[in-house]
């Protein structure tokens, strides 16, 4: 089983690694669904982690309909990730009708070169998911992150199962969104997937003693992946010991 943790900082990445994650998806602004992290953050995470690092390539919040300038920025970000020795990137571009925009995705995949490519949850906004899955496979992506078109992966488990069957091993289908140690085993059984995506994050309060009134939106703490949550996810995904399996027969 593979557990990918979405991390938003160097500290979160180190926590994911310590907790036993298989891989990290590095981003910024988790509260916005994730954006491309800074070059310094990418470099520092790559320097410090032993596990694979995939970088989210998303230039802004909102939809996944991008113009030429945004696509150029994404291509340059991918080239930077390759130069830094990252293991992969996470992309997704749609057209106005909710189809995978193969013409805009192709240069991004080409820029990745030997890097692995995950197609992210833009897929969940597609108008014809079955065809979209075939398009993602045709682009050469190795993995699809999806919540099954629902707010959370457990809610979308039936669709995820359908896409696992359709993919038939041609691409990994990775459930993500709302995945926790409490539901991941059931999600694994319901979908047949063998890769899972979670953030395992916890809200940390601000360490500031001085907090002026009227500016509360500028005084929050941070979200950070938590070692204990990652460990609990790893444990929940671990195969049952043989004696426990025999005991259930």
The b-or-e profile of 83-105 (16+ CB within 10 A means b, else e) is: ebebbbbbbbbbbeebebbeebb
Span 93-117, pLDDT tens digits: 999 999 999 999 999 999 999 999 9
For the chain, which residues make up each domain, given as ranges? 2-204+218-248
Residue 186 clears pLDDT 90, i.e. is over it: yes
pTM higher than 0.95:
no
CATH for the stretch 2-204+218-248: 3.20.20.380
Q: Which residues pair with 173 in a beta bridge?
A: 144
Span 193-214, pLDDT tens digits: 999 999 999 888 888 888 888 7
Phi-psi bin for 116: left (phi > 0), alpha (psi -120 to 50), beta?
Answer: beta
Q: How far is CA 52 from the centre of its chain?
A: 13
Span 167-180, pLDDT tens digits: 999 999 999 999 99
Q: Where are any strands of DSSP class E within the chain?
A: 2-7, 23-26, 53-56, 88-91, 116-119, 143-146, 172-175, 195-198, 201-204, 222-225
């Amino acid at each position: 089983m593979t557990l990918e943790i979405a991390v938003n900082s160097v500290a979160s990445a180190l926590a994911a690694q310590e907790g036993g994650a298989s891989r990290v998806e590095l981003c910024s602004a988790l509260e916005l669904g994730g954006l491309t992290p800074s070059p310094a953050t990418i470099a520092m995470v790559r320097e410090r982690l032993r596990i694979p690092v995939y970088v989210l390539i998303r230039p802004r919040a909102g939809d996944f309909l991008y113009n030429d300038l945004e696509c150029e920025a994404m291509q340059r970000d991918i080239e930077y990730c390759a130069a830094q020795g990252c293991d992969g990137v996470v992309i997704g571009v749609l057209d106005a009708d909710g189809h995978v925009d193969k013409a805009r995705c192709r240069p991004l995949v080409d820029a990745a070169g030997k890097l692995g490519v995950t197609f992210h949850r833009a897929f969940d906004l597609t108008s014809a998911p079955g065809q979209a899955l075939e398009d993602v496979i045709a682009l050469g992506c190795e993995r699809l992150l999806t919540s099954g078109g629902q707010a959370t992966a457990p809610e979308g488990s039936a669709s995820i199962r359908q896409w696992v069957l359709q993919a038939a091993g041609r691409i990994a289908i990775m459930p993500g969104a709302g995945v926790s140690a409490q539901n991941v085993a059931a999600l694994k059984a319901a979908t047949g997937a063998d890769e899972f995506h979670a953030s395992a994050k916890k809200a940390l309060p601000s360490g500031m003693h001085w907090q002026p009134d009227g500016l509360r939106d500028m005084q929050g703490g941070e979200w950070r992946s938590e070692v204990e949550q990652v460990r609990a996810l790893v444990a929940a995904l671990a195969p049952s010991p043989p004696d426990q399996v025999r005991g259930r027969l």
